[in-house]
Amino acid sequence: MNMRQEFTEEQKKLLTPVLDYEVDTKGKMSYDNRIWDDKRLVGKEKLVMMFLTGNYSYQYGVSFITIDNLKYLLECNTEGKVRSCLNKLERKGYIKQDKVLDRDIFYIKRYIVPEEVYYQE
């Protein structure tokens, strides 16, 4: 599967309207079941990968889930716990974190469900 290139500064400016996107925490999510079998993922890292891959934008090649959404979904009281988990995933090579304006975006490096499978009914 081809991974998209990282955004240039010009491309980031074009993404500005997209950053108003909010994750529907009650909607359909598809994720790769191999996440649960991955022995390198521990604790809430599995859940974070599930939410990141489940909210992946095929159009833009990134996940736009917010830290607040992750806090809610993981039932964490602090942003620090979520950031710690994201940093561990980045060190392990599963994601790359970036910011567009003040919004976090995540490049997913593993476990992307193919687009044609995601949109099957």
Cα separation, 105 vs 98, whole angstroms: 5
Cα separation, 87 vs 50, whole angstroms: 16
Question: Sheet containing 62-63: which strands, arranged edge to edge?
Answer: 56-57, 62-63, 103-108, 95-100
| Confidence category of residue 11, pLDDT binned at 50, 70, 90 | low
Residue 12 pLDDT greater than 80, yes or no: no
Which runs of E-coded beta strand occur in the chain? 56-57, 62-63, 95-100, 103-108
pLDDT in tens, 41-69: 998 999 899 889 888 887 888 888 888 88
Residue 16 pLDDT greater than 50, yes or no: no
pLDDT in tens, 36-46: 888 999 989 99
Q: Which of 51, 72, 73 is nearest to 63 (CA)?
A: 51
